[in-house]
Every structure is written in structure tokens, then in C-alpha cells.
Amino acid sequence: MRHPIVLLSVLSACQETPDSEDYPGAFSLTPSEEVESYVTASWKAPGAESAHLEFSVDGQTQLVTDPVDGEVGSDLPVLGLWFNETFDVELVDQDDTVLAVGTHTIGAGPATLSGFGIEGRPTWDRYVISALLTSDPSSVVMFSPSGQPCWFWELDGPAFIVRATPRRDGMGIWALLMPFTPAGEAGRLLSVDWDGTVSSDLTPYGHAGEGVTHDFIEMEDGSIILIGYDTRAVGGVDYTGDTLYRRHADGTEEPIWSFWDLYTPTADGVDPEDWTHANALRWNEDRGTVWVSSRGQNSLVEVNPTDGVALTVMGGSTPNVEMAEGAVTPHGQHHIDFRGNRLLVHDNRDVEQGSRVVAYDLEFGEVTVARSVWEYVPAPTVYDFVLGDAAFVDDENLMVTWSTAGRLEQRSFAGESPWSASLLLGAVYGYSELVISLPGTTFVGNR
């Protein structure tokens, strides 16, 4: 099957500035064959000490490339140009003298992008990456701070992309794949460059080859902390638990901590195949710990990755967190985030109550206390029966992913929602990630 984005890329292969006596310089922009909105820039800037490109829409500068010393720039990455737009482009030197002018058009992209309903414009200066589980095939989309899709990559093969996140080297993304039929088939981690090239394909081993599921974190040292299925027989019944593993850069793996260390399955418990259902990981920078969410046990666990000790257990049958008066307890929750000691939880609950987002203030001590300080339930209610995400943008603004409702939105504690990106009915978002910056290009359009 030929992807539409490839066909569009061929049509727009390379756009150059016309020769002009008024402008002594020249530049060219060459799209990737796989991802049309990713282009490489080259230029000649006679007499310049340094030069860069500026991209504008309706007279307002939206993006600028990093300055390059000297008169020549070659094959420089340009990220963040959104689909279905024509940009006015200027080559500018260190004194803001315009050396060349032209335009560059990004086409409409693949058919999947036509299914987005974009409302408003975000007030942040961040990019957002999310997976589309139910596109055919599964795919990854990135939104510009303008609120428009600006990068799109399709998976070659039948699997769900649950999580997509930027690599620490800045030159592409990680995509976590789960098979359509997980029994006997392990999940994979793909490393995808911005030009759409798959640069590595990992299949973490985990417990007895059961592999990776749901979520992972790339650490500063290049290792990856991941959730792995861990199925064991108890009383003649197979219970699917979960264990956290660290995969080192050389491919070796070691267990960090397991839900089997905290809980014991009972005959009157949840479905054995869904016993702990660990579904999300979040690194807490302030405490140097990893938090893991267990939907099956309705609990959040903080783990010291160095010694494998569970420090904090919120919810579940063996909590060590005291819930203050009026504090709500998570139920079926998925992703979480931290800003200082404030914890944000996407609390899925059930079909009758609907899903919600809850903020807690945590007081860490000999006994940790959790206080509910904010709660948002959409009206009418929505129920995320899988996934769901919430993350801090700053002290007042959040990014919320209503996965099965197919809605990604900016929402503030004050109740405002200046931007949203909705999918067609029946389409599902995976987990979403805020990205502060991209290599080679800076977005300035919201300033």
C-alpha cells in the first residue's frame, strides 16, 4: 500500500527561491519522502556572518530556524511546519537583512488528518505528540503550538501504538507497539527518525519473553524503564501481574520491582488475566523515583529504582497513604503527572460515573497525606474505558487526553479550554506527551 504522504512529497519535491537582483542569497527546502512536513533546508547567504530562515503566515512570523555561522547552510532540519498551509519564507542574516524570499507549501497530508476537528488555538508554546490507535494503520501525530498537525507517521503492520514520545537525542521518537492479539506475542519499541525512517526495532524480553506493555521511560543514561507482563501460576490459575524492568543500552535487562512483591492474588479478586494491569509510568524528578499506575488494583505505587523499594502506595488493598477528609480515591486510573508535590490523575472510574481528572496535594512524611484540591468531570460525561492522560503545562494549565472520546484539549484549573483536537467518532487517542522544543527550529507564533 502506498501512503498518500509519499505521493504528496513527490509532487512538492523541492521548492527554491527564484533568482533576483534584489536578493543576493538563495535557499531550498526539500521534504522527506515519508513525512512531507519534515524538510531539510540549504542556503547561500553571500557576505553573511550567520543566517537563518523565518517562516510566516499572514505577515506573522511563526517559526525560525537556528542561526548557522558563515555563508552556507546545508541539509538543516526544519520541524513544526503544519499541514495544509503555505508559508512565506525569508533568508535573513545576523543584522535582519533579508537575503532571499520565497514560499513553501505543505500539502493536506494523508487522509487520516482530515478526520481532525481543531477548535481554537492553544496558549502554550509546546508541541504535543500522541498516538492514534484506531487509525488504519495505527499512527503518530504531532501538533504544533499553533494547534495544527505538523508531523505524521504511519505504522507499517498490524499493531496498536500506545505511547509515542521524543527520544532524548532530539532526533526522532520512540513508539511503543502492542499487538492486536497480545497472547504469545511481545510488544515492541520502535525508534523513528523525524524523516520517517525506523532506525531501530527493539523487542524487550521482560519476564519469560512476555515483553513490554503500555508504557516506558527513557532515562538520561540511555537505559529504558518499562512495564513487563509477569504471569505466574497460583493455585492452578495463571495470574497476569506486572514487573518493572530496566533495559540497558547494551540490551541487557534487569527487574527493578514487581507487583508480586506487594500483592497476592485471591480467588475472589479481579479477572486473573487483568490482575494488576499496570498501565502508566511517570518519573518524579524532584524525588528521583518512578511511579506506576495499576488499574487492576486501583493503586499508584512510587518505587525507588535504585534499591527496588516501594516507598508510597496510594489506593489499593495495602495503602500507606492517608487520604484526607473528602479526598477521592482513584479507581481504574491511567496516566498521572507531577508538578512539585501536586499529583494529577486521569481517573477512568466506570461507565456510570464517567471519567474525570483529579489533582491532589501530597504531603510526604513518615505518613504521606493526600488531599483532593481540584476535580473536573466533563458534561456530558465521557468514559475512557482504555487509556486516558493528563499532564501539567504550567501551574494553571493542563493537557488532557480523553482517549476513547477522541478529544485532546488544553484545560485550565479555572475551567477554560482555549484549544481542542477531536477525532471522528470511534477513533481513539493513545497517551500524549508535551514537547518543549524541537531540533533546529523555534516556534514564535504565540508570542
Q: Output the DSSP codes for 228-286.
A: EEEEEEETTEEEEEEEEEEE-TTS-EEEEEEGGGT----TTSS-GGGSS-EEEEEEETT
Q: Encode pLDDT of 195-208 as tens digits.
A: 999 999 999 999 99
Considering only CA atoms, which of 395, 390, 296 is closest in space to residue 341? 395
pLDDT bracket for residue 181 (50, 70, 90): low
| C-alpha 405: how far from chain center | 17
Q: Is the pLDDT of residue 134 over 80?
A: no
Res 426: pLDDT:
77
CB-based contacts of 325, cutoff 8 Å, min separation 6: none
Give yes or no for a contact between 358 and 340, defined as CB atoms under 8 angstroms apart.
no
Using CA atoms, how far apart are residues 240 and 258, in angstroms rounded to an integer?
12
Q: Would you identify the CATH topology of the domain 111-443? A: Neuraminidase (2.120.10)
Domain covering 4-106: architecture: Sandwich (2.60)
pLDDT reading at 446 higher than 90: no
- In the chain, what are the helix, strand and coil shares in percent, each to the nearest 5? 5, 50, 45
Q: What is the pLDDT of residue 4?
A: 27
Q: What is the mean pLDDT of the chain?
A: 92
- For 321, the 3-state DSSP assignment is strand
Residues spanned by CATH 2.120.10.30 within the chain?
A: 111-443
Q: Average pLDDT of 111-115? A: 86
Mean pLDDT of the region 131-146:
90
Q: Give the residue range(s) of CATH 2.60.40 domains in the chain.
A: 4-106
